[in-house]
Structure 1
């Protein structure tokens, strides 16, 4: 049964440019403009009309956009929950400008070993993540550590938890890697490794959406009976001010917004394409976390019930439930 019939999340790409070259991502390879304040202002108004409650300003590396603090301040003023994920390279020098503007601030860290983390990210950013943690804590911020799990770094999870997140009072977010297009992330996690992650996710100070694990056990999304609700739960806006459908990773079609996001999203052609969410041939076996998470949240299913405990746990540990109450 569908509980929420409007989109809840916007993945707003401020730029595709990045100052890292992660092996498991191809976004940084794309030429890209930067979004403009005028477009952001109009689009946020329309996102509010559409029922969106969370705006993820993403990239690329979002901190490359010098107006990011302005976007975040505007979104907060309009009542959105804001989220930003960064590799940490630019955070220390921009932390003051971002203070108090990001509800969910994530620093990417994939190993407690400097060489291992920097190799995966294609740039020396490990020390910047540790410095970002120090600076954020001094400013009274409560960042999370986003750990993207592959088979080759699974053994590093314990050390990150023991040596970095727990001593600093941070939440460790476990993000199982996924493949898309021509981007391969290595061998898939085995059943035993998924069981290990599931058990690890029950620890204090750890967030793992258990439905991510179950979805992988089930072989991902199946086009005959899709769990994916990417287009009806999530709006993707490109740096060129386009609405991308049905999701960023497929990008089947892009529509120029031109100040008409509300009408564009509700247009027959847009809704026709949105109705194909999870049903396209490329959707078979998909496990893309950033679209599955909102998909699990909007309708009752076994994934909804498996995702619920971890979602409640995260909101309690982070204190974001207080922010949600303020917006209610």
Structure 2
């Protein structure tokens, strides 16, 4: 049973450019412009009309955009929940401008070992994460640590939790790695390792969407009976100011927005593509977290019930739960 017909989330790519070269991501390889403030203003108005609640200003590295603080402020003034994930290299420099404008601020950290983290990211950024935590705390901000889990760094969760999360009173977000296109993430986690993640997610100040675990145990999305609702729950806007369908990672079709996002999203061609969400050949076995999370929230099924407790826990910790049900 479908619980919500309106989209929940907008993944707004401010640029594909990045100052890191993560081995599990290919976005940084793409040439890219930066989005413009005028386009953002118009698109936010249309996103509001469409019923979107959360704007994820993403990239690339979103802090590379010099007007990110203005976009965040604009989005908050319109009632959106804002979220930003950063490798933290630029955060100490920009923290003052961003203060109070990001409801869900995530610093990426994949290891308690400086060399291991920096090697995976392709650039020396571990020290920036540690510095950013201190800067954020001094400003009264409440950042989260986003830990992308692979088989090779699973053992690092405990040390990050004990040495970084608890002493700094942060939230640890466990993000199981996913494959897409030609980006490989190595051997997949075993059922026993997924059980370890599930148990870890029950600790205080830890968030793990249990739907992610169940989906991996089930072999990912199945095109015959798809759980993915990417196109109907999430709008993807590119740095070129295009609507990307059915999701960024497939990106089989792009539409120039030209100041008419509301009409475009409601058009027959876009509606027809939405009907194919989760049913395309490339959707078989998909476990892409950023589209599965909103998908779990709109349809009453086992994934909804798996995801609900952890989702409520995180939004309670962040103080955003009242705004999501308003």
TM-score by length of 2: 0.99
* CA–CA distance in structure 2, aligned partners of residues 324 and 186 of structure 1: 36
* CA–CA distance in structure 1, aligned partners of residues 171 and 318 of structure 2: 8
Map 1:258-269 to 2 at 5 A: 258-269=258-269
Do the aligned residues in 1 keep the contact of 2:53 with 2:324 (CA within 8 Å)?
A: no
Tell me the number of residue pairs that the alignment of Structure 1 and Structure 2 aligns.
Answer: 326
- Counterpart of 1:307? 307
* CA–CA distance in structure 1, aligned partners of residues 248 and 223 of structure 2: 18
Q: What is the CA deviation profile of residues 62-119 of structure 1, one whole-angstrom value per residue up to 9, with x for unaligned ones?
A: 0000000000000001110000000000000000000000000000000000000000
Map 1:149-298 to 2 at 5 A: 149-298=149-298
SS in structure 2 at match of 1:232: helix
- Counterpart of 2:43? 43
Where structure 1 has 5 or more consecutive residues not aligned to the other structure, the ranges are none
* CA–CA distance in structure 2, aligned partners of residues 256 and 145 of structure 1: 35
Q: What is the CA deviation profile of residues 115-134 of structure 1, one whole-angstrom value per residue up to 9, with x for unaligned ones?
A: 00000000000000000000
Map 1:46-65 to 2 at 5 A: 46-65=46-65
Map 1:64-143 to 2 at 5 A: 64-143=64-143
Deviation at 1:323, TM superposition (A): 4.9
Deviation at 1:316, TM superposition (A): 1.5
Q: What is the CA deviation profile of residues 242-274 of structure 1, one whole-angstrom value per residue up to 9, with x for unaligned ones?
A: 000000000000000000000000100111111
SS in structure 1 at match of 2:152: helix
Do the aligned residues in 1 keep the contact of 2:224 with 2:279 (CA within 8 Å)?
A: yes
Where structure 2 has 5 or more consecutive residues not aligned to the other structure, the ranges are none
SS in structure 2 at match of 1:152: coil
SS in structure 2 at match of 1:167: helix
TM-score by length of 1: 0.98
SS in structure 1 at match of 2:231: helix
* CA–CA distance in structure 2, aligned partners of residues 248 and 208 of structure 1: 23
- Counterpart of 2:27? 27
SS in structure 1 at match of 2:167: coil
* CA–CA distance in structure 2, aligned partners of residues 322 and 53 of structure 1: 12
* CA–CA distance in structure 2, aligned partners of residues 296 and 14 of structure 1: 26
